[in-house]
Amino acid sequence: MDSFIVISLIKIFVVFGALMTILAYLQWVERKVIAHIQVRPGPYRVGPHGLLQPLADVIKLITKEDLVPPYVNKALYLAAPFLAITMALLSVSVIPFGPKIQVAGYATWMQLTDLNFGVLFILGVSSMGVYGIALAGWSSNNKYALLGGLRSSAQMISYELPLSLAIAAPLLISNTLSLRKLVDTQDGWMWNWNLFHGFQYVSFIVFIIAGFAETNRVPFDLPEAENELVAGFHTEYSSMKFASFFMAEYANMITVSCMATLLFLGGWVAPWPAAYGSGYVPVAIFAIAGVTTVWRGLNPRRKRDRFTFPPFGVVFVIVAAVFLVPRLQSALLPLFWFCAKTGAILFLFIWIRGTLPRFRYDQLMGFAWKVLFPVAMLNLLATGLVIAAFS
């Protein structure tokens, strides 16, 4: 019992630390990718390639004046960002990053806790996240914030329905609500993934669209866009509370991407079994990246590349070598595949943000109720019929 508590505490610290770092650097990735889509460099002054930009942003947000306006409803004003960030981070506690591993003699799962009803837990926690936004809009005592908060909450609860129905279809195939067992049923080759069973790509598309709307991302971000409604529900918030709302949005994005990976893309399972050499894919990727970076550093296009590229190249080659160590492979390989798949979906989020315009609010709500909800319902019906016919 004691070792269980100590191991759990260590896992919590590791996951929390990694998640906070990933949240900060996800913002850097987003700014860089959107900048390159718009043919401009993005942040490049603070540190090499702008890599210290998140640090500068954190320092700026912490040292900004934390102004609580006198006309707000204090209890709800202070509780709303806390509620938003808590619910966003709570979903990560049931996500499995890999299989059972051996660390210093103790066998433990790469997951904080496995619940029998893990999928329902994540749905419940994301339903509670609506309150952070609604109460923020109300407590700010500001008509633009109230309208933004109400619109955002209405959008989130409208898209929860197609989201739940799109989740139910692969659950019918995998026959379990526990996230760990969900990955176990997709073990093996790539065609075992839930995405490639029949017409589950419909569920995947519905899930991704509903996931965009749940996290208030473009093209569904009218309630919080900078040039609409002043700034939406977080108009009256400053410094760390404002930062909490943004961290909550990115954490929600990470949760939706992790759920898409677990439900449809097979979680931490490699596309083909390790016996056929899938363990060498990360080695190959990092080695090629390292060699290319070092070569570019030696024949630089910009003068400062001579100093910044070679260290990165050396780091990449070291990481490639680490993936070859057999003792670490059982933990690192599943983690690599999970992060690769989740990263691909996060890149999709960022890519679409840089590409598509945003929906008008009535178009958004009409799309949810008139198109997405019937499609999700018909998809669930058809999946159920097919499973009943073939079992």
Partner 1 sequence: MDLILFLVFAGIAVVAAINVVVQRHPISSAVSLIAVMGSLAVLYLLLGAEFIAAAQVIVYAGAVMVLFVFVIMLLNAGGETKAGRSFVASLLGVPVLVALLVALLALLAFFSARLYPRDTEVHFGGFRGGTAQAVGRALFTTYLLPFEITSILILIAIVGAIVLARKELE
Which residue ranges make up the site for partner 1 (CB under 8 A)? 73, 75-76, 115-117, 120-121, 123-125, 127-128, 130-131, 134-135, 137-138, 146, 150, 153-154, 157, 160, 177
Please state whether 188 falls in left (phi above 0), alpha (psi between -120 and 50) or beta: left
Give the DSSP letter string of 219-246: TS-GGG-TTSSTTGGGTT--HHHHHHHH
Nearer to partner 1, 150 or 291 (CB): 150
CB 38 within 8 A of CB 68: no
Residues forming beta bridges with residue 107, ordered by sequence position: 102
Give the integer Cα–Cα distance in Å for 202 and 208.
10
Beta carbon of residue 70, minimum distance to partner 1 (angstroms, whole number): 18
Beta carbon of residue 91, minimum distance to partner 1 (angstroms, whole number): 13
Residues forming beta bridges with residue 110, ordered by sequence position: 98
CB 87 within 8 A of CB 247: no
DSSP code for 372 = I
Beta carbon of residue 172, minimum distance to partner 1 (angstroms, whole number): 11
Give the integer Cα–Cα distance in Å for 317 and 326.
17
Beta carbon of residue 150, minimum distance to partner 1 (angstroms, whole number): 6
Nearer to partner 1, 21 or 175 (CB): 175
Nearer to partner 1, 153 or 261 (CB): 153
Beta carbon of residue 127, minimum distance to partner 1 (angstroms, whole number): 3
Q: Which residue has the tokens 């991407």?
A: 257
Taking each helix axis from N to C end, the angle separating 239-264 and 53-63, rounded to the nearest 10 degrees, works out to: 140
Environment class of residue 113 by beta-carbon count within 10 Å: exposed (0-12), middle (13-18) or buried (19+)? middle
Beta carbon of residue 123, minimum distance to partner 1 (angstroms, whole number): 5
Give the integer Cα–Cα distance in Å for 225 and 237.
15
Nearer to partner 1, 157 or 240 (CB): 157
Nearer to partner 1, 64 or 74 (CB): 74
Beta carbon of residue 154, minimum distance to partner 1 (angstroms, whole number): 7
DSSP code for 357 = P
Beta carbon of residue 378, minimum distance to partner 1 (angstroms, whole number): 17
Beta carbon of residue 18, minimum distance to partner 1 (angstroms, whole number): 27
Nearer to partner 1, 234 or 341 (CB): 234
Nearer to partner 1, 130 or 332 (CB): 130
Nearer to partner 1, 73 or 108 (CB): 73
CA-atom Rg of the chain in angstroms: 22
Nearest to 256 by CA among 301, 197, 213: 213
The residue type of 374 is P
Nearer to partner 1, 125 or 247 (CB): 125
> What's the farthest any 2 CA atoms get from each other in the chain?
65
Give the integer Cα–Cα distance in Å for 145 and 136.
8
Environment class of residue 116 by beta-carbon count within 10 Å: exposed (0-12), middle (13-18) or buried (19+)? exposed
Beta carbon of residue 13, minimum distance to partner 1 (angstroms, whole number): 23
Inter-CA distances, 333 with 20, 188, 267, 330, 385, Å:
22, 14, 12, 6, 37
Beta carbon of residue 126, minimum distance to partner 1 (angstroms, whole number): 8
Paired tokens of 123: 């749905």
Nearer to partner 1, 9 or 274 (CB): 9
Nearer to partner 1, 32 or 234 (CB): 234
CB 209 within 8 A of CB 379: no
